[in-house]
């Protein structure tokens, strides 16, 4: 899993950059934003003295105390309903959904209240909050601990949905999320927590919401992806480079609103597009991206838009051989790219 992040730290001197894991960057982003704005507080299951099930909040309880790092009951509905009230009252809550699989228990609060608060009040109220969602497969979690449900919320105006792929973006997108006026679903891929490292500035910076990044330039085909699937797409691109296939790779970073301009500009150059994503194929993230390209960029295309995703199964199986077959790997992605280029 490789990515060129030189452009991300351009202008920063060596002493101003640290190598961090993905989860360390999240913890650092939380700490910096809590120091910057005393209205921010964290709430979730086992996030205080225990530091969270994945240790993303380790050390924050000791630094900020029990009024700003709060252990909650095991109730996702309580978490988000309470966060909506706190947000309206002037605070900036950041509830943690320990596993994205259980976010269904908070759907009413997210979709009917947080997302619609500004609209239904004619702008009298906003609902700023950052809902951290731990998600994703390739960790042996099985049916109820590996889901990727971002597509549900891409259908809901009023929300912002982000999912970083690198430590740099993990910190920068998180900090940007805390500084807006909208409810943000901040999706953290569990597989990336400790498998990805990269340079992260120690000075204050943000990554703009709604802006994709071209992380690998190419001329034959555009691959659009995010989070874990982005890294597997980059691995596939490296394999194909030896075959003379030059792949351009786009990291969406923000899924709602997503960056149509960057996608279409790339597809205009390459004339081919493959969307790689971690959710069911039907009505998944790639369905929206593919439809947009077909609608707004049809004249650019020399081949149909191709989707690479898990099958339309309930979720990743627990049995290791089936789990391995469920998620796209670099070989499957590479084969889809070959077929698209050869069309």
**What is the tally of structural domains in the chain?**
2
Question: Is 2 contained in some domain?
Answer: no
Query: In whole angstroms, what is the distance from residue 285 CA to residue 224 CA?
Result: 10
Strands 160-162 and 254-256: antiparallel
Say yes or no: 218 and 196 in one domain.
Answer: no
pLDDT score of 13: 55
Query: What is the residue-wise DSSP string for 265-296?
Result: HHHHHHS-EEEE-SS-STTSHHHHHHHHHHHH
**Full residue range of the structural domain in which residue 272 is found:** 213-342
Say yes or no: 187 and 252 in one domain.
Answer: no
Question: Is 10 contained in some domain?
Answer: no
Token couple for 208: 């703009």
* Residues pairing with 130 in the sheet: 184
* % of the chain with per-residue pLDDT over 90: 87
Say yes or no: 28 and 145 in one domain.
Answer: yes
Question: Is 6 contained in some domain?
Answer: no
Query: For residue 341, which of 231, 251, 241 has the smallest C-alpha distance?
Result: 241
Q: What is the CATH number of the domain that holds 58?
A: 3.40.50.970
Domain boundary among 173, 201, 229: 201
Say yes or no: 186 and 260 in one domain.
Answer: no
The pLDDT tens digits for 181-194 are 999 999 999 999 99
Question: Is 170 contained in some domain?
Answer: yes
Query: In whole angstroms, what is the distance from residue 270 CA to residue 214 CA?
Result: 13
pLDDT score of 146: 82
Say yes or no: 117 and 223 in one domain.
Answer: no
Say if CB 236 and CB 330 are below 8 A apart: yes
Query: What is the residue-wise DSSP string for 16-46?
Result: GEEEEEHHHHHHHHHHHHHHH-TTEEEEETT
Domain boundary among 166, 201, 236: 201
What are the two backbone dihedrals, phi and then psi, of residue 211, each rounded to the nearest 5 degrees? Answer: -120, 120
CA contacts within 13 A on the Cβ side of 295: 7
Domain boundary among 201, 226, 245: 201
Say yes or no: 166 and 219 in one domain.
Answer: no
Find how far residue 120's CA is from the centre of its chain. Answer: 27
Query: In whole angstroms, what is the distance from residue 45 CA to residue 225 CA?
Result: 30
pLDDT score of 6: 42
The pLDDT tens digits for 37-54 are 999 999 999 999 999 999
Find how far residue 135's CA is from the centre of its chain. Answer: 9
Strands 273-276 and 306-308: parallel
Token couple for 8: 């991300």
Question: Is 185 contained in some domain?
Answer: yes
Say yes or no: 162 and 283 in one domain.
Answer: no
Say if CB 292 and CB 260 are below 8 A apart: yes
Query: In whole angstroms, what is the distance from residue 297 CA to residue 268 CA?
Result: 7
- DSSP-derived secondary structure letter, 14: G
Token couple for 336: 């889809």
Question: Is 11 contained in some domain?
Answer: no
Question: Is 87 contained in some domain?
Answer: yes
Question: Is 3 contained in some domain?
Answer: no
Query: In whole angstroms, what is the distance from residue 312 CA to residue 318 CA?
Result: 16
Mean pLDDT by 10 residues, the chain (343 residues): 47 76 98 98 96 96 97 94 96 96 95 94 94 90 85 95 98 98 97 96 96 98 98 98 97 98 98 96 94 97 97 86 90 98 95
Q: Which residues are known catalytic residues?
A: 145
Query: In whole angstroms, what is the distance from residue 336 CA to residue 343 CA?
Result: 11
Q: What is the CATH number of the domain that holds 308?
A: 3.40.50.920
């Amino acid at each position: 899993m490789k990515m060129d992040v030189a452009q991300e730290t351009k202008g920063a001197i060596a002493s101003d950059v640290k190598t961090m894991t993905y989860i360390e960057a999240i913890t650092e982003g939380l700490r910096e934003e809590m120091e910057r704005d005393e209205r921010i507080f964290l709430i979730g299951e086992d996030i205080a003295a225990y530091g969270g099930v994945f240790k993303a909040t380790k050390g924050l309880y000791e630094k900020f105390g029990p009024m700003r790092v709060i252990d909650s009951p095991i109730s996702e509905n309580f978490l988000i309903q309470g966060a909506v009230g706190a947000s309206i009252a002037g605070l900036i809550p950041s509830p943690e959904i320990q596993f994205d699989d259980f976010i269904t228990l908070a759907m009413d609060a997210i979709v009917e209240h947080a997302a619609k608060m500004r609209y239904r009040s004619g702008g009298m109220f906003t609902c700023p909050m950052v809902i951290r969602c731990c998600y994703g497969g390739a960790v042996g979690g099985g049916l109820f601990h590996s889901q990727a449900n971002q597509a549900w919320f891409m259908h809901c105006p009023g929300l912002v949905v982000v999912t970083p792929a690198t430590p740099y973006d993990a910190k920068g997108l998180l900090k940007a999320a805390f500084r807006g006026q909208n409810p943000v679903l901040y999706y953290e891929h569990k597989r990336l927590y400790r498998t990805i490292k990269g340079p992260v500035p120690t000075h204050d910076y943000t990554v703009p919401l709604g802006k994709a990044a071209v992380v690998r330039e190419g001329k034959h085909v555009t691959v659009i992806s995010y989070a874990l699937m982005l890294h597997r797409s980059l691995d596939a691109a490296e394999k194909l480079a030896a075959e003379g296939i030059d792949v351009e790779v786009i990291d969406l970073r923000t899924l709602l609103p997503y960056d149509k301009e960057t996608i279409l500009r790339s597809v205009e150059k390459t004339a081919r597009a493959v969307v790689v994503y971690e959710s069911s194929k039907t009505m998944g993230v790639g369905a929206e991206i593919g439809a947009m390209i077909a609608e707004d960029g049809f004249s650019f295309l020399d081949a149909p838009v191709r989707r690479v995703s898990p099958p339309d199964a309930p979720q990743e199986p627990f049995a290791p051989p089936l789990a391995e077959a469920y998620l796209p790997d670099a070989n499957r992605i590479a084969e889809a790219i070959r077929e698209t280029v050869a069309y």
